[in-house]
């Protein structure tokens, strides 16, 4: 049995690769699937399953692209109803992977379809849980995100479900079981995560504030108090993960295609996006000179790929390292490049406010 945590620091997100006897499974893959394909190729294994712990809000999953590349089945927990073919598992269902098994534990609370995957070793002994956003190291998943999509499902209702899930499905497991969470410290999906990205369940029973609450009422209050507003893009990502999306390869190919000035105007609406330098927030003005030297292909690529990038990489400040390396220039007012700078003004203003392009 082989397990590898693939941790992405900018998202504080953990994906997992599990392998036994030449068969592999990937849990919660990111949009760029190359790392999983390369790992399976290096180890001469075939990817059999892609497990999703829930419909993610903070990133667009790579489950559809990975399934298309490998033929692997996408597995969701009970109540999931995506708009594309998947295997919706039943609570307690066991799937075989090489010489090990993975048991589906339906653990609603963060979302209603949230599930934890219990890995059992070659001897059938409980070895680890891949808890997604149900249980973090030092925290649990926030219960307020579903309300953005369904006003009837309040944080208090979901927190009650989360309490039951933890008490009935997670806490009874043995202390030696390893906890592999979906996120670490820095993620917006929790509020008190520890810096560690793996721990034994026995230790979490001792140190995790949420697991030590005396009753359901105290638990609900503890996990709902002090929650910061979630990022504005969360509902859009949930919709993409639930309804499906254009393949990442197609997005990249389309973004790197050459455009004529006329087509560029049609796609970007430059004439309608006229904006003065004064409209750019002060925090973004330092990028102005660098932006005016970006080519049409680069601008369209950034625009097209924005929804596929981790939000930390798509925001203004994280692009500064790219822009600052470019030669600063003052384009001629009549040049095509100056028209790009007009678009850049609007682009930067919108990026700084996280508004959709």
pLDDT tens string 5-59: 999 998 899 999 999 999 999 999 999 999 999 999 999 999 999 999 999 999 9
Q: By the 8 A CB rule, do 128 and 179 touch?
A: yes
Please say if the pLDDT value at position 349 is more than 60: no
Query: CA 196 from chain center: how many Å?
Result: 19
| pLDDT on residue 256 | 82
| pLDDT on residue 57 | 93
Please say if the pLDDT value at position 335 is more than 90: no
- In this structure, the strands spanning 94-97 and 87-88 are unpaired
Helix (H) or strand (E) holding 51: strand 46-51
| pLDDT on residue 323 | 37
CA separation for the pair 64, 104 (Å, rounded): 20
Residues with Cβ within 8 Å of 286's Cβ and at least 6 positions away in sequence, in order, are 320
| pLDDT on residue 258 | 78
Name the phi and psi angles at 68, rounded to 5: -65, -35
Helix (H) or strand (E) holding 57: none
Percent residues over pLDDT 70 in the chain: 75
| pLDDT on residue 74 | 98
Of the listed ranges 110-114, 123-127, 225-229, the least confidently predicted one is: 225-229
Average pLDDT on 117-140 reads: 98
Residues with Cβ within 8 Å of 43's Cβ and at least 6 positions away in sequence, in order, are 2, 19, 24
For 234, the 3-state DSSP assignment is helix
Q: Using alpha carbons only, how large is the chain's radius of gyration in Å?
A: 23
Does this model's pTM top 0.85? My answer is no
CA separation for the pair 345, 342 (Å, rounded): 5
CA separation for the pair 345, 292 (Å, rounded): 9
Percent residues over pLDDT 90 in the chain: 62
Please say if the pLDDT value at position 183 is more than 60: yes
Q: Which residues pair with 101 in a beta bridge?
A: 96, 120
Helix (H) or strand (E) holding 278: none
In order of their start, the domains of the chain are 2-239 (3.60.15.10), 248-352 (no CATH)
Q: By the 8 A CB rule, do 24 and 206 touch?
A: no
pLDDT tens string 204-254: 999 999 999 999 999 999 999 999 888 888 999 999 999 999 888 888 887
| pLDDT on residue 58 | 92
| pLDDT bucket at 338, cuts 50 / 70 / 90 | very low
CA separation for the pair 105, 44 (Å, rounded): 29
Which tokens belong to 275? Answer: 């904006």
CA separation for the pair 246, 258 (Å, rounded): 20
CA separation for the pair 334, 3 (Å, rounded): 58
| pLDDT on residue 270 | 56
Q: By the 8 A CB rule, do 246 and 189 touch?
A: no
Residues with Cβ within 8 Å of 239's Cβ and at least 6 positions away in sequence, in order, are none
| pLDDT bucket at 149, cuts 50 / 70 / 90 | confident
Q: What is the DSSP string of 72-125?
A: PEEEE-TT---SS--EEPPTT-EEEETTEEEEEEE--SSSTT-EEEEEE-TTS-
Average pLDDT for the chain: 81
188 closest CA partner among 110, 82, 245, 105: 110
Average pLDDT on 287-306 reads: 40
Please say if the pLDDT value at position 147 is more than 80: no
């Amino acid at each position: 049995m082989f397990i590898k945590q693939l941790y992405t620091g900018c998202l504080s997100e953990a994906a997992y690769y599990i392998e036994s006897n030449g068969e592999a499974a990937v849990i919660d893959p990111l949009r760029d699937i190359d790392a999983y394909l390369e790992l399976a190729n290096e180890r001469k294994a075939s990817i059999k399953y892609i497990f999703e712990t829930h419909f993610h809000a903070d990133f667009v999953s790579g489950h559809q692209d990975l399934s298309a590349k490998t033929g692997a089945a996408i597995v969701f927990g009970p109540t999931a109803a995506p708009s594309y073919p998947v295997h919706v598992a039943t609570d307690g269902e066991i799937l075989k992977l090489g010489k090990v098994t993975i048991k589906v534990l339906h653990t609603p609370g963060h979302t209603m379809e949230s599930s934890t995957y219990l890995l059992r070793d070659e001897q059938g002994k409980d070895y680890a849980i891949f808890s997604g956003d149900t249980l973090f190291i030092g925290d649990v998943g926030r219960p307020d995100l579903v309300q953005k999509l369904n006003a009837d499902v309040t944080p208090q209702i979901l927190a009650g479900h989360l309490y039951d899930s933890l008490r009935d499905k997670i806490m009874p497991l043995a202390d030696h079981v390893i906890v592999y969470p979906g996120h670490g410290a820095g993620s917006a999906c929790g509020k008190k995560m520890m810096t560690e990205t793996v721990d034994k369940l026995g230790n979490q029973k001792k140190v995790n504030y949420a697991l030590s609450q005396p009753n359901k009422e105290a638990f609900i209050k503890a996990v709902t108090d002090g929650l910061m507003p979630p990022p504005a893009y969360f509902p859009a990502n949930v919709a993409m993960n639930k309804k499906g999306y254009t393949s990442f390869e197609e997005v990249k190919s389309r973004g790197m295609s050459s455009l004529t000035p006329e087509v560029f105007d049609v796609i970007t609406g430059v004439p309608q996006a006229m904006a003065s330098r004064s409209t750019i927030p002060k925090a973004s003005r330092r990028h102005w000179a660098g932006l005016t030297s970006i080519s049409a292909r680069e601008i369209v690529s950034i625009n097209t790929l924005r929804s596929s990038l981790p939000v930390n990489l798509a925001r203004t400040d994280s692009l500064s390292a790219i822009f600052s390396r470019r030669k600063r220039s003052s384009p001629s007012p009549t040049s095509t490049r100056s028209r790009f700078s007009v678009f850049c003004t609007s682009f930067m203003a919108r990026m700084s406010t996280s508004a959709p392009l």
